[in-house]
């Protein structure tokens, strides 16, 4: 074995045996540093004759390369081991809970109102509003319920002691129908609006609260008839409940502000748990009819009092409970809970901010 | 209104089943709210013959009967009725039957050691009347073993909701007429009851109030015998929910329920002098049949004699002249009262009666003679006596309305084509007269028919609304146009932004207890209800916060530790003219713990005023408010902590929002534990976008050069607002300073008394060339100079 071979074997063995990066560095200095043994050998090359150099250089260069490679490999290996050891000390218990972020919710009434606006926008209906503190002219008189009308008494009206600016009494609107009158007066005809909002009746039990929400629909045009009303309600309900299996039953009824007046029932089935599921004809076995909304052709007196010519314009109107629609679609069973602000209820029945109703995704938010 | 099938078929010849009748009633607008079949309730009860009756060995008042049920061996039954005896026929409830009156299921049992296999029933137990003196006694010829429901003639009872426009259907006959028109049967002719009378009416009848009582018809019947009404009448009345009282009373009730025709019968012996319809005198009193005394005024019509008021016209009779068991001579009254005045009187007196309901909606003005003769006929048949000639004072309205009609209208308005012949048939069946040129004469009883649209309704409802086909609305081809107004779009965006920030949307009552509303009224006059449903729901809210604070309190009381509630709704204020002034508003209430205690720190973090500020700023930004231009100013209101609340204003006057910690007095008023912080954003105060909606944004390209940070620490007097200093620094060199943030705030050791240290990190953005040292120096000098104007000195 040559002298170089011996050096190489010895150096590689010592590098292999190095325990840490400091030891590797010390060996690098010893072999390859300025005063290093291999560096010393390299320096001798300069003093050799070209022939001698040509003979000895390759062995010395090979020795240097082998040692340098061994040092680099050892360093990499030790660094990796050191990182591994450090990381082992940094372990955390990821079964611990992450920081909590509060989950906000949109109230079912707002969600359903957004759904209604979306559906009716597609049918060309704009959204109109009006005051909730109303006067009796808009709430009753203009809707063909003069002072002595028996239907007035049936409205369980909340009154204020105050007199309206143009006479009459101030009250809380008992329905969204005054918005019909206000919108016709302000915008004329033709007209397609929905008017959602709060309404008030002095009535309170499991299914009635003194405040609730209604949406009014109104179409005024030249040739509108009951068939259009039926189609509009069917189309709306199919879109709202996202099922084509909606069967309506129209029944004659009476509202002073419509003539003819029509009560609309919708067919439902009763499931195993006794819950009502909309769909099918109410006359089918295991089915029934549920009263859903009131509607009719706008009474010509209402059109007249709203400043339009009833010989020229006619149309239909309907009113439906928003809370009721929400309950039917999303399964709540106690109306009073809507207005309690119980955060447990809001979390359960509320909707994500990102459940913005769209027609392309379906207006409903899945359970 | 309730009526039995038996009563309906007394007027209507029909083979239709109960289901068919119900369906047709619904279809023509007489909504069936329920059908009850008493036969179902009487299942298990049958006619039985008592064979023997012996005293119970162990009880004085009981007997042991053997009863023949018509099949098998006679049953042994223990009975406590005093009238139980051998040989009688009665009604036996067998084991398994359910007693209608109390829902008790009968079973085989032992009563004081004696086996009993059923129960002999009383009238009351079977809900056939009030009598509970003893068990039912059936006639000799009652067939033993017959199902009692069949024997009794139990008939299904319809409960129908009559809309207020149809007083003509507030009697069974009217309903029968509608059903007949709809093809469900044939209306039977009424009895021909015409009475000339045997002698002149001995009582003078007048109407001195032709406005309130246009017509007052009457007659005397002498020698009547009052007592129980006949069984057929009692059955019909009971089915209709009317308790039988005496023949004379029952007959008037029968007239009302059969024909929608209220009538009154006076005991002639209690009257003196002429009987007159007149206005009451102010303060005049009457003791009514409900044993209450009513004080009347001169707007009310009454029937009176020389001694005083006997009847609140059309609403309720008086006690004094009411018929008794020993009444022998009576005066009948059939009148037509003005519907409006009946309504006004009824409302004033707070008195709702079946008579009022009918008069107020309008009885048939053409059926006064008919009504009087019908009433007379019933009394003569049931109570005997001799009728006088009728007296007719005044005249009921008799001008029939004529409506020009176009048969095309069923299609044009109702959406269904009905042949002219069918339209004529329907109208004729409802007693309308149609001329060749389609002028329709309306029967007087149809007060609701005013114009052509009403005729359309009549034709279409009888023809069937199920014939109306859906027809699509036209127009609107292509993609729907946006319909939301800017206000609606704003509300929707802010709502979802708030929910996205972790807030829970609540909907709270628009009305509050007055004290809570006053607490937030800030001197404004509240809207306070005259007739609230409760004291807790009396005043319209002037702010969204009280409702949310109360909701937070309820949640805290239920154990919630931290709450983030918001609501978007209206505040109800007053306009200058006294009308309503409603403002869309967003309220936020944060209460209790912002962060619950957790493993990381072990400590809960409570909400403070800065959390309120964060919501206010973030939601205003989403609402499109220019948040970097907002000024933080005072006067959030006395409901807030004076040192921990502020308003956010755009200019000195326009308050967009208020926020902060609530005042301890507010917490106390709402009985809620702190901390509670709140935000109220006045959505209609946020300036809208001007001009048409533009989508393109201002040009922007991220700068190529790196920004430079410089830190400054200032000593400032304690009363200098940090926000003012920050604004001064940011505005020191608008060309170069793109951001400035406070990163440290310190008072105490090392900082002179009365001062605080504020450290600000300023971000500089070079435009085209990197900064030279002297440029940075110049900017720094400008920053220091601007800060100095706020009283700040650079810390050494």
A252 to B570: CB separation less than 8 angstroms, yes or no: no
Question: Cα–chain-centroid distance for residue B57?
Answer: 60
pLDDT over threshold 70, residue B476: no
Q: Does A254 touch chain B (CB under 8 A)?
A: yes
Whether residue B256 contacts residue B267, with contact meaning beta carbons closer than 8 Å, is answered with no
Residue A298 backbone dihedrals phi, psi, to 5 degrees = -55, 130
B505 to A250: CB separation less than 8 angstroms, yes or no: no
> pLDDT tens, A33-56?
888 888 888 888 888 888 888 888
**Bridge partner residues of B308 (DSSP):** B305
Is residue B19 helix, strand or coil? helix
3-state secondary structure B492-524: HHHHHHHHHCCCEECCCCCEECHHHHHHCCCCC
List the single range of B97-106, B332-341, B398-407 with lowest mean pLDDT: B97-106
> pLDDT tens, B496-510?
999 999 999 999 999
A1 band by pLDDT with thresholds 50, 70 and 90: low
A157 band by pLDDT with thresholds 50, 70 and 90: very high
- The shortest CB-CB distance from B27 to any of A202, A235, A251 is to A251
CA B318 → CA B273, B356, B371, distances in Å? Answer: 17, 15, 21
Is residue A244 helix, strand or coil? coil
What ipTM was assigned to the predicted interfaces of this complex?
A: 0.89
Q: Which residue of A has its CA nearest to B479?
A: A122
B691 band by pLDDT with thresholds 50, 70 and 90: low
Checking phi first, is residue A148 left (phi over 0); if not, alpha (psi -120 to 50) or beta?
alpha
B693 band by pLDDT with thresholds 50, 70 and 90: low
Question: In the block, which residue shows the tokens 């859903």?
Answer: A292
- Segment B398-409 mean pLDDT: 95
- Chain A residue numbers with beta carbons less than 8 Å from the beta carbon of B551 are 340-342
- Segment B736-752 mean pLDDT: 92
B192 band by pLDDT with thresholds 50, 70 and 90: confident
Give B502: exposed, middle or buried? Use CB within 10 Å, 0-12, 13-18, 19+: middle
A294–chain B nearest CA distance, Å: 13
> pLDDT tens, B588-636?
999 999 999 999 888 999 999 999 999 999 999 999 999 988 999 989 9
Residue % of chain B over a pLDDT of 70: 99
> pLDDT tens, B256-301?
999 999 999 999 999 999 999 999 999 999 999 999 999 999 999 9
Q: Which residue of A has its CA nearest to B458?
A: A260
Distance CA B90, CA B509 (A): 59
B100 band by pLDDT with thresholds 50, 70 and 90: confident
Q: Does A191 touch chain B (CB under 8 A)?
A: no
The count of other CB atoms within 10 Å of the CB of residue B472 is 13
A341 to B555: CB separation less than 8 angstroms, yes or no: yes
Among A97, A117, A123, A150, which would you mutate to test the B interface (most chain B Cβ atoms within 10 Å of its Cβ)? Answer: A150
A131 to B456: CB separation less than 8 angstroms, yes or no: no
pLDDT over threshold 80, residue B381: yes
B101–chain A nearest CA distance, Å: 27
- Segment A71-99 mean pLDDT: 91
pLDDT over threshold 80, residue B741: yes
A252 to B457: CB separation less than 8 angstroms, yes or no: yes
pLDDT over threshold 90, residue B694: no
> pLDDT tens, B315-357?
999 999 999 999 999 999 999 999 999 999 998 999 999 999 9
Q: For residue B493, give the nearest of B620, B628, B658, B629 by alpha carbon.
A: B620
Distance CA B471, CA B792 (A): 76
- The shortest CB-CB distance from B531 to any of A117, A202, A211 is to A202
Q: Which residue of B has its CA nearest to A109?
A: B507
Distance CA B311, CA B213 (A): 13
Q: Which residue of A has its CA nearest to B459?
A: A260
pLDDT over threshold 70, residue B477: no
Q: Does A251 touch chain B (CB under 8 A)?
A: yes
B498 to A104: CB separation less than 8 angstroms, yes or no: yes
Q: Does A284 touch chain B (CB under 8 A)?
A: no
Contacts of A77 (CB under 8 A, 6+ apart): none
Count CA atoms within 13 Å of residue B573 on its CB side. 16
pLDDT over threshold 90, residue A294: yes
Residue B672 backbone dihedrals phi, psi, to 5 degrees = -125, 140
List the single range of A27-36, B230-239, B343-352, B461-470 with lowest mean pLDDT: A27-36
pLDDT of residue A97: 92
pLDDT over threshold 80, residue A367: no
- Chain A residue numbers with beta carbons less than 8 Å from the beta carbon of B476 are 122-124
B17 band by pLDDT with thresholds 50, 70 and 90: very high
A228 to B461: CB separation less than 8 angstroms, yes or no: no
pLDDT top residue among B147 and B172: B172
CA B218 → CA A352, B335, B354, B360, distances in Å? Answer: 72, 8, 21, 21
Taking one residue from A and the other from B, the number of pairs with CB-CB distance under 8 angstroms is: 269
- Segment A345-349 mean pLDDT: 97
The verdict on whether omega for the bond into residue B675 sits within 30 degrees of 0, i.e. cis, is yes
Using alpha carbons only, give the angle B151, B156, B161 rounded to the nearest 5 degrees. 155
- The shortest CB-CB distance from A225 to any of B412, B495, B596 is to B412
Select, from the ranges A140-154, B95-109, B235-249, the one with the highest average predicted confidence (pLDDT): B235-249
B374 band by pLDDT with thresholds 50, 70 and 90: very high
B598 to A343: CB separation less than 8 angstroms, yes or no: no
List the single range of B314-318, B386-390, B485-489 with lowest mean pLDDT: B485-489
pTM of the predicted model, to two decimals? 0.86
Count CA atoms within 13 Å of residue A262 on its CB side. 33
Whether residue B565 contacts residue B548, with contact meaning beta carbons closer than 8 Å, is answered with yes
B314 band by pLDDT with thresholds 50, 70 and 90: very high
> pLDDT tens, B136-154?
888 888 888 888 888 887 8
B222 band by pLDDT with thresholds 50, 70 and 90: very high
- Segment B407-427 mean pLDDT: 96
> pLDDT tens, A331-344?
998 999 999 999 99
pLDDT of residue B483: 83
Distance CA A192, CA A124 (A): 7
List the single range of A138-142, A165-169, B216-220, B242-246 with lowest mean pLDDT: A165-169
pLDDT of residue A258: 95
- Chain B residue numbers with beta carbons less than 8 Å from the beta carbon of A211 are 509-511
Question: Cα–chain-centroid distance for residue A271?
Answer: 28
Q: Does A314 touch chain B (CB under 8 A)?
A: yes
Give B471: exposed, middle or buried? Use CB within 10 Å, 0-12, 13-18, 19+: middle
**Bridge partner residues of A282 (DSSP):** none
Q: What is the mean pLDDT of chain B?
A: 92
A51–chain B nearest CA distance, Å: 59
């Amino acid at each position: 074995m040559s002298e170089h071979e011996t050096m190489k074997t010895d150096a590689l063995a010592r590098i292999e045996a190095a325990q840490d990066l400091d030891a590797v560095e010390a060996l690098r200095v010893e072999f390859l540093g300025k005063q290093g043994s291999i560096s010393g050998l390299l320096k001798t090359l300069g003093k050799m004759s070209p022939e001698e150099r040509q003979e000895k250089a390759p062995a010395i260069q090979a020795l240097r390369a082998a040692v340098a490679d061994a040092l680099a490999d050892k360093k990499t290996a030790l660094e990796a081991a050191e990182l591994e050891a450090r990381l082992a000390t940094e372990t955390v218990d990821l079964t611990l809970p992450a920081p909590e972020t509060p989950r906000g919710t949109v109230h079912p009434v707002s969600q359903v109102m957004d759904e209604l606006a979306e559906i009716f926008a597609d049918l060309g209906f704009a959204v109109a509003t009006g005051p909730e503190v109303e006067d009796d002219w808009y709430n009753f008189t203009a809707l063909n319920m003069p002072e002595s009308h028996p239907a007035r008494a049936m409205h369980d009206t909340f009154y204020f002691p105050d007199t309206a600016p143009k006479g009459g009494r101030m009250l809380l609107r008992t329905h969204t129908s005054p918005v019909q009158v206000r919108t016709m007066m302000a915008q004329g005809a033709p007209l397609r609006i929905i008017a959602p909002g709060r309404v008030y009746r002095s009535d309170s039990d499991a299914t009635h609260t003194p405040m609730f929400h209604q949406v009014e629909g109104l179409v005024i045009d030249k040739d509108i008839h009951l068939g259009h009303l039926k189609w509009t309600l069917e189309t709306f309900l199919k879109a709202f409940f996202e099922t084509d299996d909606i069967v309506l039953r129209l029944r004659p009824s009476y509202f002073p502000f419509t003539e003819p007046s029509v009560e609309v029932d919708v067919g439902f089935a009763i499931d195993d748990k006794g819950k009502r599921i909309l769909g099918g004809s109410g006359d089918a076995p295991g089915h029934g009819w549920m009263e859903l909304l009131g509607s009719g052709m706008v009474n010509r007196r209402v059109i007249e009092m709203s400043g339009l010519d009833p010989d020229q314009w006619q149309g239909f109107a309907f009113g439906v409970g928003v809370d009721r629609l929400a309950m039917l679609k999303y399964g709540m069973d106690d109306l009073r809970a809507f207005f309690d602000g119980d955060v447990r209820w809001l979390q359960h029945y509320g909707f994500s901010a990102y459940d913005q109703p769209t027609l392309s995704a379906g207006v409903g938010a899945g359970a | 209104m309730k009526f039995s099938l038996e009563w309906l078929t007394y007027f209507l010849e029909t083979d239709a089943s109960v289901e068919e009748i119900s369906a047709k009633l619904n279809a023509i607008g007489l909504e069936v709210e329920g059908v009850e079949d008493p036969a179902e309730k009487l299942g298990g009860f049958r006619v039985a013959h008592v064979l023997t009756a012996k005293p119970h060995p162990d009880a004085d008042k009981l007997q042991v009967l053997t009863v023949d049920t018509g099949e098998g061996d006679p049953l042994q039954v223990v009975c406590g009725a005093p009238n139980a005896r051998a040989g009688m026929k009665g009604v036996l409830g067998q084991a398994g039957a359910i007693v209608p009156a109390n829902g008790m299921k009968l079973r085989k049992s032992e009563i004081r050691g004696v086996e009993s296999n059923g129960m002999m029933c009383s009238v009351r137990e079977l809900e056939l009347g009030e009598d509970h003196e003893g068990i039912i006694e059936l006639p000799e010829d009652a067939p033993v073993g017959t199902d009692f429901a069949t024997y009794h003639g139990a008939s299904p009872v319809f409960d129908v909701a009559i809309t207020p426009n149809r007083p003509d259907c507030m009697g069974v006959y009217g309903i029968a007429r509608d059903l007949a028109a709809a093809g469900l049967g044939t209306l039977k002719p009424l009895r021909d009851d015409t009475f000339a009378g045997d002698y002149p009416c001995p009582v003078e009848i007048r109407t001195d109030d032709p406005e309130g009582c246009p017509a007052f018809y009457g007659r005397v019947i002498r020698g009547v015998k009052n007592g129980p009404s006949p069984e057929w009448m009692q059955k019909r009345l009971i089915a209709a929910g009317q308790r039988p009282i005496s023949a004379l009373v029952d007959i008037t009730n029968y007239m009302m329920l059969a024909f929608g025709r209220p009538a009154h019968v006076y005991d002639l012996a209690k009257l003196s002098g002429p009987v007159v319809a007149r206005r009451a005198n102010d303060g005049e009193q009457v003791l009514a049949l409900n044993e209450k005394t009513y004080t009347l005024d001169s707007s009310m019509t009454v029937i009176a004699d020389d001694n005083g008021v006997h009847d609140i016209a059309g609403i309720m009779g008086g006690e004094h002249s009411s018929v008794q068991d020993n009444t022998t001579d009576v005066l009948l009254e059939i009148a037509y009262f003005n519907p409006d005045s009946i309504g006004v009187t009824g409302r004033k007196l707070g008195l709702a009666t079946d008579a009022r309901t009918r008069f107020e909606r309008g009885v048939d003005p053409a059926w006064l003679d008919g009504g009087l003769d019908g009433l007379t006929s019933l009394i003569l048949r049931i109570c005997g006596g001799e009728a006088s000639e009728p007296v007719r004072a005044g005249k009921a309205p008799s001008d029939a309305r004529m409506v020009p009609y176009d048969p095309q209208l069923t299609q044009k308005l109702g959406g269904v084509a009905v042949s002219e012949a069918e339209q004529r048939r329907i109208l004729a069946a409802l007693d309308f007269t149609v001329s060749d040129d389609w002028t329709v004469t309306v029967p007087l009883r149809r007060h609701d028919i005013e114009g052509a649209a009403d005729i359309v309704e009549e034709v279409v409802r009888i023809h069937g609304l199920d014939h109306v086909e859906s027809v699509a609305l036209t127009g609107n081809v292509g993609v729907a146009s946006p319909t939301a107004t800017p206000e609606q779009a704003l509300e929707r965006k802010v709502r979802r932004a708030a929910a996205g920030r972790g807030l829970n949307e609540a909907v709270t009552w628009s009305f509050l207890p007055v004290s809570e509303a006053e607490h937030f009224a800030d001197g404004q006059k509240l809207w306070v209800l005259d007739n609230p449903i409760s004291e807790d729901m009396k005043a319209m809210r002037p702010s969204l916060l009280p409702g949310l604070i109360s909701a937070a309190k309820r949640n805290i009381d239920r154990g919630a530790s931290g709450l983030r509630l918001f609501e978007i709704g209206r505040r109800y204020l007053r306009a200058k003219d006294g009308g309503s002034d409603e403002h869309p508003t967003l309220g936020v209430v944060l209460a209790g713990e912002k962060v619950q205690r957790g493993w990381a720190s072990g400590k809960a973090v409570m909400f403070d005023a800065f959390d309120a500020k964060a919501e206010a700023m973030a939601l205003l930004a989403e609402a499109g408010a220019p948040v970097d231009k907002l000024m933080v100013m005072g006067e959030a209101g006395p409901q807030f902590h004076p040192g921990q609340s502020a308003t956010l204003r755009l200019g000195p006057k326009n308050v967009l929002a208020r926020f902060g910690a609530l005042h301890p007095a507010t917490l106390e008023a709402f009985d809620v534990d702190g901390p509670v912080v709140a935000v109220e954003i006045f959505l209609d105060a946020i300036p809208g976008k001007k001009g048409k909606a533009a989508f393109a944004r201002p040009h922007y390209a991220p700068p190529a050069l790196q920004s430079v940070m410089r830190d400054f620490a200032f000593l400032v007097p304690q009363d200098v607002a940090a926000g003012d200093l920050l604004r001064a620094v940011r505005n020191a060199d608008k060309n170069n300073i793109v951001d400035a943030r406070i990163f440290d705030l310190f008072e105490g050791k090392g900082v002179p008394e009365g001062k605080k240290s504020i450290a600000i990190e300023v971000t500089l953005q070079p435009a085209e060339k990197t900064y030279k040292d002297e440029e940075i120096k110049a900017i720094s000098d400008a920053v220091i100079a601007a800060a100095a104007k706020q009283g700040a000195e650079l810390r050494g």
